[in-house]
Amino acid sequence: MDSRDVVIGEIQAAVSRLLGDSAAALMRQAGISASHQIWPELPSGKTLEEAGTIMAEAVKDLGAWGEFSITGADDGVAKIQFKDCRFADLTKASGKACGEQAICNFGFGLVEETLKRLTGIATKVELVRRDDAERTCFETAAPRRKPSA
């Protein structure tokens, strides 16, 4: 990890310890906002596969999140993989498991908003499981349901 990743890791660990369960909502919202700051101009009307290709390159430029890919979709639920995400190494310091850390929720919001901007589909991203042997987080992006009237 380079020094920027360590700084981000320490900030996210402190936020997790200080805010507890409230950190998730705060950091998810920060990720949503960051999508617009990091990538102010994104194309729209893309397919899930096209969005995955665009996001793979964009996430690679961010650094510490590792390799991003969308491996397909079943019943509209996209399967996402983050391979070699270095923030998984910070679970002990944050006191939270993978998928519950502040930085994970930041990433969930970032992916949700970026997918929405690219495809027009609002989703909710969640960790399914972490495979430490493969250093991979397996996630889903499920379409958000509109509230019924």
Give the predicted TM-score (pTM) of the model: 0.85
pLDDT digits (tens, 9 = 90+) for 120-131: 999 999 999 989
Q: What is the assigned CATH class of domain 3-143? A: alpha beta
Domain residue spans of the chain: 3-143
Q: Sign of dihedral through CA atoms 49, 50, 53, 54?
A: negative
pLDDT digits (tens, 9 = 90+) for 94-144: 667 778 778 888 899 999 999 999 999 999 999 999 898 888 999 999 998
- The whole-angstrom separation of Cα 65 and Cα 86 is 6
What's the distance, Cα to Cα, between the start and end of the chain in Å?
Answer: 49
pLDDT for 39 beyond 90: yes
User: How many C-beta neighbours within 10 Å does residue 9 have?
Assistant: 21
